[in-house]
């Protein structure tokens, strides 16, 4: 390589900074508000979301369609459509991303933050060889050096357990399985240097055995490369398997958060409790599965708690909107419900009965 | 790839064969007949029955029609397209000098349509929902709705006669200088490419928008690829297919366009020739021109299929299964 290329590469490395130490808070989202459209048709998609991602940890976001899970990730990446208005703060290792112009922000995408989507078969360009696509992305972030890009791509493919590098690189996406495509996208993010990975339903389109394979790849990367992952899913089983922390979203706000086991075992918000009730159980008596009344979109949007129209626990006080408040547990549990203590107490009993199954 | 070519050839050959049958049947479907025409123009001409019979025998018109067709086909395959009834010269000599100017117009208009129309289509997709995008879509909508005969007349009148920017009529061959040649064909080429260019711009625009809104483009943005790479390396490759399928269609449409434009701008191409041959009932010339166009369209279709397979590996795989 020529001298200028090497200089570029060195400068590029300096910009990227040192690798994050495990546990470092790499991404901090505060009071993120997103709205689409203008005037009377304006739809508030996020109403003040706080999230923290740590190196070497997986944070989960659960919630049904339309709750704002994907919007949160897209907003943090700066990938929302032009008509969206975004307020709040997204800081990546000290840099405020929301105020960066598109051109500046583009240098953070791939190199620092990457996103994996639900579509596996169409997330790769159908008419370009996988290797060409991988190298194109890696080269963008490797100072234009082809050799360096190739080295990073080979390394990343090995990291996602794709060892048959030559065959994978010379294939077109339709010649590979969905699980392979998803791992290739993850490898692409790695080869670009990403430290933060937004994984938006990455396993939803895959069958269960392939799902486990992709999840184990992600877990391995978190452990070895200290990747910070935001795992978005409506599948509580997937979240329970890979996450350290979990936030449950409802209609554009977080209604409950905490360590994943605590939240799923002892929900403190009626919505979380409702989601868990909907899960089928393998043992115990056969019962008809309960369902949550209506959907987010049908709910009447007055003032007060947004879950109130569907909530079996609602009382008069719920006409005032509750804040996301810390629970009296000594841990980092938070819930947005006036009656969280009662919900928690009853879910404790439910968890006890579930322990017998 | 060889399999694709073979498969397409297998359908192209019958198409061309059917074209020749239709072309040959043409002369028996039209009123009057070549012999009457040659002997002095349709009904009421001054000729005797003996003259008629002699001429018929000389032209081989006494043989059964399938035999006549077979002779014509075999000769055509050997490059002998017969003799013009009107000028008595071999048809190849009559048509030969006419092919160049027409192909120049058609190819020029195709290149202009693809470069300008395709470029505008891409630009309108990249700048969709902005003023630029809307202006382009308005302009192409206008271009599609303007009839080409009207456009040609206005262009010849205003740009050629009133402002005298280009010569209004006439044709200078390339052998007399490229610049003076381009000067004479510029206006007809622009007129021809307005409709095809607008059509192509719209096609490319919608294909490009489909590509830009696909998951793989969103993924490309998410990996931080710079704009030009996303648009040109990633999206455009998926939007090229409509351009390739469009070329044979545009060629066929442009052949029709040249008939009109050549007559308005007085360009000695196949378009002017076919009009005079039809009115002279000079069937061998008409047949030869229609045959030539048919073969060219079939060849272009073949080329387009090969081109599609070249850019899209999924088509290649499907064909080799």
| Shortest Cα–Cα distance, A136 to chain B (Å) | 8
Does A185 sit within 8 Å of B224, measured CB to CB? no
What's the confidence (pLDDT) of residue A347?
Answer: 74
B233 touches chain A (CB under 8 A): yes
Q: Which two tokens stand for residue A308?
A: 């109130």
For residues B200 and B193, what is the distance between their CA atoms, to the nearest angstrom?
10
| Shortest Cα–Cα distance, A167 to chain B (Å) | 16
| Shortest Cα–Cα distance, A88 to chain B (Å) | 21
What's the confidence (pLDDT) of residue A259?
Answer: 92
For A193, nearest residue in chain B (alpha carbons): B223
Beta pairing, strands A95-96 & A25-36: unpaired
Residues of B with Cβ-Cβ distance to A123 under 8 angstroms: 215-216, 219
Residues 6+ apart with CB under 8 A from A171: A129, A130
Residue A29: name the closest of A62, A67, A74, A65 by CA: A74
Residues of A with Cβ-Cβ distance to B129 under 8 angstroms: 82
Domains and CATH numbers, chain B: 94-279 (1.10.3720.10)
Secondary structure (DSSP) of A181-250: HHHHHHHHHHHHT-SEEEEESTTTTS-HHHHHHHHHHHHHHHHHH--EEEEE-S-HHHHHHH-SEEEEEE
| Shortest Cα–Cα distance, B10 to chain A (Å) | 27
Helix, strand, coil share (%) of chain A residues, nearest 5? 40, 20, 40
What sign results for the dihedral spanned by CA atoms B193, B198, B203, B209? positive
What's the confidence (pLDDT) of residue A31?
Answer: 94
For residues A325 and A308, what is the distance between their CA atoms, to the nearest angstrom?
17
Kind and range of the H or E run holding A62:
strand A58-62
Sheet holding A196-200, edge to edge: A113-116, A196-200, A228-232, A58-62, A245-250, A253-259, A334-335, A325-326
Beta pairing, strands A113-116 & A196-200: parallel
Which of A107, A113, A127 to substitute to test the interface with B, most B CBs within 10 Å? A127
Does B223 sit within 8 Å of A110, measured CB to CB? yes
What's the confidence (pLDDT) of residue A223?
Answer: 92
Residues 6+ apart with CB under 8 A from A14: none
Strand partners for A44: A35
B221 touches chain A (CB under 8 A): yes
Q: Which of B218, B229, B317 sits opposite A117 (nearest CB)?
A: B218
| Shortest Cα–Cα distance, A189 to chain B (Å) | 7
Does B223 sit within 8 Å of A109, measured CB to CB? yes
Q: How many residues does chain A have?
A: 357
User: What is the residue-level pLDDT of chain B in tens, covering all 321 positions?
Assistant: 777 788 888 888 888 888 888 888 877 776 666 666 666 654 555 677 777 778 777 777 777 888 888 888 888 888 888 888 888 888 888 889 889 999 999 999 999 999 999 999 999 999 888 899 899 999 999 998 888 888 888 888 888 788 878 787 788 888 888 888 888 888 889 989 998 999 999 999 999 999 998 889 999 998 989 888 889 888 988 888 888 988 898 998 899 889 998 888 888 889 899 898 888 878 888 888 888 888 888 889 888 988 888 888 888 777 665
Does B313 sit within 8 Å of A174, measured CB to CB? yes
For residues B35 and B41, what is the distance between their CA atoms, to the nearest angstrom?
9
Per-window interface: B 186-215 vs A, CB < 8 A:
214-215
Q: How many residues does chain B have?
A: 321
For A129, nearest residue in chain B (alpha carbons): B313
Which of B219, B228, B232 to substitute to test the interface with A, most A CBs within 10 Å? B219
B130 touches chain A (CB under 8 A): no
Strand partners for A29: A51, A90
Does B234 sit within 8 Å of A109, measured CB to CB? no
What's the confidence (pLDDT) of residue A151?
Answer: 92
Side-chain half-sphere of A263: how many Cα atoms within 13 Å?
32
Q: Which two tokens stand for residue A181?
A: 């495509």
At A85, phi and psi to the nearest 5?
Answer: -105, 130
B25 touches chain A (CB under 8 A): no
B234 touches chain A (CB under 8 A): yes
What's the confidence (pLDDT) of residue A9?
Answer: 40
User: What is the residue-level pLDDT of chain A in tens, covering all 357 positions?
Assistant: 333 444 344 333 334 567 888 888 999 999 999 999 888 888 889 999 999 999 999 999 998 888 899 999 999 999 998 888 999 999 999 899 999 998 888 889 988 999 998 887 788 999 999 999 999 999 988 877 889 999 999 999 999 999 889 999 999 999 999 889 999 999 999 999 899 999 999 888 888 888 998 999 999 999 999 999 999 998 999 999 999 999 999 999 999 999 999 999 989 999 999 888 877 766 666 666 666 666 655 445 567 888 888 888 888 888 888 988 888 776 788 999 999 888 888 876 554 444 333
Beta carbons of A159 and A13 less than 8 angstroms apart: no
What's the confidence (pLDDT) of residue B281?
Answer: 79
Number of Cβ within 10 Å of residue A230's Cβ equals 28
Residues of B with Cβ-Cβ distance to A192 under 8 angstroms: 223-224
Which of A76, A125, A178, A192 to substitute to test the interface with B, most B CBs within 10 Å? A125
| Shortest Cα–Cα distance, A176 to chain B (Å) | 12
Beta carbons of A260 and A240 less than 8 angstroms apart: yes
CA torsion A223→A248→A272→A302, rounded to 10°? 180
CB contacts < 8 A (A, B): 78
Q: Which of B216, B226, B312 sits opposite A124 (nearest CB)?
A: B216
Does B314 sit within 8 Å of A137, measured CB to CB? no
For residues A2 and A144, what is the distance between their CA atoms, to the nearest angstrom?
11
For residues B319 and A52, what is the distance between their CA atoms, to the nearest angstrom?
51
Does B225 sit within 8 Å of A127, measured CB to CB? no
ipTM reported for the complex surpasses 0.85? no
Does A137 sit within 8 Å of B224, measured CB to CB? yes
Beta carbons of B165 and B119 less than 8 angstroms apart: no
Does B224 sit within 8 Å of A140, measured CB to CB? yes
What's the confidence (pLDDT) of residue A4?
Answer: 42
What's the confidence (pLDDT) of residue A52?
Answer: 93
Q: Which of A126, A128, A188 sits opposite B223 (nearest CB)?
A: A188
pLDDT, tens digit (0-9, with 9 covering 90-100), for B222-259:
898 988 888 988 898 888 888 898 889 899 889 988 99
For A185, nearest residue in chain B (alpha carbons): B219
Secondary structure (DSSP) of B286-313: HHHHHHHHHHHHHHHHHHHHHHHHHH-H
Q: Which two tokens stand for residue A319?
A: 């006409």
Which of A16, A75, A123 to substitute to test the interface with B, most B CBs within 10 Å? A123
Does A123 sit within 8 Å of B219, measured CB to CB? yes
Residues of A with Cβ-Cβ distance to B229 under 8 angstroms: 136, 140
B297 touches chain A (CB under 8 A): no
């Amino acid at each position: 390589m020529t001298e200028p290329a090497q200089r570029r590469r060195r400068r590029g490395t300096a910009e990227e900074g040192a690798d994050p130490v495990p546990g470092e808070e790499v991404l901090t989202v505060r009071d993120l508000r997103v709205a689409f459209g203008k005037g009377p048709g304006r739809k508030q998609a996020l109403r003040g979301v706080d999230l923290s991602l740590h190196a070497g940890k997986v944070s989960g976001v659960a919630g049904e369609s339309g709750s704002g899970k994907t919007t949160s990730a897209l907003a943090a990446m700066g990938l929302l459509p032009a008509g969206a208005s975004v307020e709040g703060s997204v800081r990546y290792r000290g840099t405020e991303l929301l105020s960066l112009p598109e051109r500046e922000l583009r240098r953070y995408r791939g190199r620092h933050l990457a996103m994996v989507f639900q579509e596996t078969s169409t997330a790769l360009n159908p008419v370009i060889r996988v290797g060409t696509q991988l190298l194109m992305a890696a080269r963008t972030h490797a100072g234009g050096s082809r050799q360096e890009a190739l080295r990073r791509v080979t390394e990343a493919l090995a990291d996602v357990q794709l060892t048959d590098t030559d065959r994978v690189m010379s294939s077109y996406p339709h010649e590979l399985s969905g699980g392979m495509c998803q791992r290739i996208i993850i490898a692409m993010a790695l080869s670009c240097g990403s430290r933060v990975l937004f994984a938006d339903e990455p396993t939803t389109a895959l069958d269960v055995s392939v799902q486990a394979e992709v999840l184990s790849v992600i877990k391995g990367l978190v452990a070895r490369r200290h990747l910070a992952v935001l795992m978005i899913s409506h599948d509580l089983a997937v979240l329970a398997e890979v996450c350290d922390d979990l936030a449950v979203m409802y209609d554009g706000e977080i209604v409950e958060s905490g360590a994943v086991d605590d939240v799923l075992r002892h929900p403190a918000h009626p919505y979380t409790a409702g989601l868990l009730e909907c899960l089928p159980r393998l043992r115990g008596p056969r019962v008809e599965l309960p369902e949550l009344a209506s959907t987010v979109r049908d709910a009447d949007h007055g003032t007060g708690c947004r879950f109130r129209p569907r909530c079996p626990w609602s009382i008069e006080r719920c006409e005032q909107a509750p804040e996301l408040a810390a629970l009296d547990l000594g841990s980092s549990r938070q819930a947005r419900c006036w009656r969280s203590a009662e919900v928690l107490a009853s879910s404790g009993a439910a968890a006890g009965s579930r322990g017998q199954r | 790839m060889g399999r694709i070519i073979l498969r397409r050839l297998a359908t192209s050959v019958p198409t061309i064969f059917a074209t020749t049958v239709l072309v040959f049947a043409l002369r028996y479907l039209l009123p009057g007949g070549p012999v009457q025409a040659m002997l002095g123009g349709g009904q009421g001409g001054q000729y005797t029955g003996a003259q008629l019979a002699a001429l018929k025998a000389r032209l081989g018109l006494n043989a059964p029609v399938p035999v006549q067709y077979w002779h014509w086909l075999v000769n055509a395959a050997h490059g002998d397209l017969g003799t013009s009834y009107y000028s008595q010269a071999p048809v190849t000599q009559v048509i030969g000098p006419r092919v160049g100017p027409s192909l120049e117009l058609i190819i020029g208009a195709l290149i202009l349509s693809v470069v300008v129309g395709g470029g505008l289509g891409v630009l309108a997709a990249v700048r969709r929902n902005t003023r630029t995008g809307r202006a382009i879509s308005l302009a192409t909508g206008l271009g599609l709705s303007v009839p080409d005969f009207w456009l040609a007349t206005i262009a010849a009148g205003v740009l050629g006669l009133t402002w005298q920017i280009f010569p209004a009529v006439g044709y200078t061959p390339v052998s007399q200088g490229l610049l003076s040649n381009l000067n004479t064909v510029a206006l007809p080429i622009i007129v021809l490419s307005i409709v095809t260019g607008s059509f192509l711009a719209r096609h490319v625009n919608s294909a490009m928008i489909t590509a830009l809104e696909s998951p793989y483009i969103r993924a490309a943005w998410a990996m931080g690829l710079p704009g030009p790479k996303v648009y040109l390396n990633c999206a455009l490759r998926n939007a090229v297919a409509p351009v390739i399928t469009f070329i044979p269609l545009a060629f066929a449409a442009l052949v029709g366009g040249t008939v009109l434009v050549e007559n308005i701008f007085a360009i000695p191409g196949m378009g002017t020739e076919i009009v005079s041959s039809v009115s002279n009932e000079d069937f061998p010339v008409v047949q030869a021109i229609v045959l030539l166009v048919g073969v060219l369209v079939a060849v272009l279709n073949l080329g387009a299929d090969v081109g599609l397979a070249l850019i899209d590996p999924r088509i290649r795989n499907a064909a080799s299964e």
